[in-house]
């Protein structure tokens, strides 16, 4: 995401320097008197309107200014602003001029996915393509020999993707947050796969799952589904109690969240949650265990039941977050007439 604000890794350092100070680097250049047609790409990368740029460690005193910088840089892109984790960052740096902060970089751990560290870099539009992003990225990765690095950005941030690729990142997942306008939904175009005529299979709502053991079984299934869909960046092996807390939240609509059991064991599920807007519902985790061909029919059927519930309740829209690594949510995204949306891509290095 934030890579989209960066220039390419420009050859932006003075040709007389052989080494770079990775923590604090200062360049004061003045080539404004040179005719524009004689300036090289390196000169352009160095030309910061004769302004000195300093890369220094982030401090708590920078917080308010950093938030203002992110708001100004990303404007109405709230997701990009919120992606930065500065207060809990393992390493974070700011790029400063006499006018204030013009760039940020951070690297932090994600306890849910402990096998990789997250990172982000952002540069003010007026200071892109000057090598500031490369210097910031160098600051947070200098000497770093830890886990693989992961970053996220919008698919529309072409320059950012090129920057990330040039620094060794490769895309491995796309996430789509799509919306289905329910007043426009035509049920006649939806054809579910036939559900296996087996009396050993039973569909019930979570509102009918009463015992703690039954709820734990649902949480275990949810954990299995999430782990399966995040094989490229595995989640931590957390307790069943932690997963119960993720599934059975206050905004879970239990009467419209369904589970399919086979001989008493949950094998498929689809969750539904109340959205932030009272007229909006959100599709949660869904998927199967065991025979995925049989489960696929159930996931389609359960999802259709949820759409019909939302229509009956007078909801105006249904939201789905779908990962390209999740075959079940992707099936639902492509099966129902969700509106197109820009992909939030995740890239990995190492």
pLDDT in tens, 199-249: 678 899 999 977 899 999 999 999 999 999 999 999 999 999 999 999 999
Give the span between the Cα atoms of 266 and 302, in whole angstroms. Answer: 14
Q: Return the minimum-mean-pLDDT range out of 16-25, 193-202, 277-286, 288-297.
A: 16-25
pLDDT attached to residue 7: 31
CB neighbours (10 Å) of residue 132?
27
Per CATH, 2-168 and 177-341 having the same topology is answered yes
CATH assignment, 177-341: 3.40.630.30
pLDDT tops 80 at residue 277: yes
Give the span between the Cα atoms of 267 and 245, in whole angstroms. Answer: 20
Distances, alpha carbon 245 to alpha carbons 211, 218, 342, in Å: 15, 12, 30
- Token pair for 268: 């498929």
Look over the chain and give the mean of its residue pLDDT values, rounded to a whole number: 82
pLDDT attached to residue 159: 81
- Token pair for 3: 């890579």
Give the span between the Cα atoms of 285 and 73, in whole angstroms. Answer: 33
CATH number for 2-168 (one of 3.40.630.30, 3.30.420.610, 3.40.50.2000, 3.40.190.10): it is: 3.40.630.30
Contact 113, 151 (CB under 8 A): no
Contact 221, 270 (CB under 8 A): no
pLDDT tops 60 at residue 3: no
Phi, psi of 20 (to 5 degrees): -125, 130
pLDDT tops 60 at residue 309: yes
* Sign of the CA dihedral running 196, 197, 200, 203: positive
More confident residue, 153 or 185: 153
pLDDT attached to residue 221: 95
Helix (H, G, I), strand (E, B) or coil at 79: helix
pLDDT tops 90 at residue 186: no
pLDDT attached to residue 21: 34
Contact 70, 81 (CB under 8 A): yes
What's the whole-number mean pLDDT along residues 124-147?
90
Q: Residue 339 gets which letter from DSSP?
A: P
Contact 293, 261 (CB under 8 A): no
The domain ranges of the chain are 2-168, 177-341
Contact 304, 316 (CB under 8 A): no
Distances, alpha carbon 143 to alpha carbons 22, 146, 168, 170, 322, in Å: 10, 9, 16, 21, 36
* Sign of the CA dihedral running 178, 181, 182, 184: negative
The b-or-e profile of 12-48 (16+ CB within 10 A means b, else e) is bbeeeeeeeeeeebebebeeeeeeeeeeeeeeebbbb
pTM of the model: 0.81
pLDDT tops 80 at residue 42: no
pLDDT tops 50 at residue 167: yes
């Amino acid at each position: 995401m934030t890579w989209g604000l960066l220039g390419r890794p420009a050859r932006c350092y003075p040709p007389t320097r052989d080494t770079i100070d990775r923590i604090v680097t200062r360049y004061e250049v003045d080539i404004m008197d040179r005719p524009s047609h004689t300036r090289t790409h390196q000169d352009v990368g160095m030309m910061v309107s004769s302004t000195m740029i300093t890369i220094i460690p982030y401090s708590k005193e920078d917080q308010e200014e950093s938030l203002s910088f992110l708001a100004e840089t990303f404007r109405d892109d709230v997701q990009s602003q919120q992606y930065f984790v500065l207060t809990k960052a393992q390493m974070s740096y700011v790029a400063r001029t006499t006018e204030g902060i013009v760039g940020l970089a951070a690297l932090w751990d994600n306890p849910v996915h402990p096998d990789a560290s997250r990172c982000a870099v952002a540069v003010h539009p007026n200071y892109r393509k000057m090598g500031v992003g490369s210097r910031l990225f160098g600051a947070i990765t200098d000497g770093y020999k830890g886990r693989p690095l992961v970053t996220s950005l919008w698919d529309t941030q072409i320059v950012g993707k090129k920057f990330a690729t040039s620094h060794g990142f490769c895309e491995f997942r796309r996430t789509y947050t799509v919306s289905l306008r329910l007043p426009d939904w035509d049920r006649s175009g939806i054809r579910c796969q036939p559900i296996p005529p087996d009396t050993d299979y039973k569909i019930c709502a979570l509102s009918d799952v009463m015992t703690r053991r039954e709820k734990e079984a649902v949480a275990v299934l949810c954990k299995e589904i999430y782990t399966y869909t995040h094989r490229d960046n595995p989640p931590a092996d957390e307790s069943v109690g932690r997963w119960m807390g993720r599934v059975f939240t206050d905004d879970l609509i239990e009467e419209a969240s369904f589970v399919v059991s086979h001989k008493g064991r949950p094998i498929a599920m689809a969750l539904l949650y109340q959205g932030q807007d009272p007229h909006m519902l959100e599709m949660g985790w869904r998927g199967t265990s065991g025979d995925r061909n049989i489960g696929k029919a159930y996931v389609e059927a359960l999802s259709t039941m949820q759409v019909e519930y939302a229509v009956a309740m007078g909801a105006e829209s249904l939201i789905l977050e779908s990962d390209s690594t999740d075959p079940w949510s992707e099936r639902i995204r492509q099966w129902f007439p969700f509106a197109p949306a820009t992909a939030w891509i995740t890239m990995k290095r190492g």
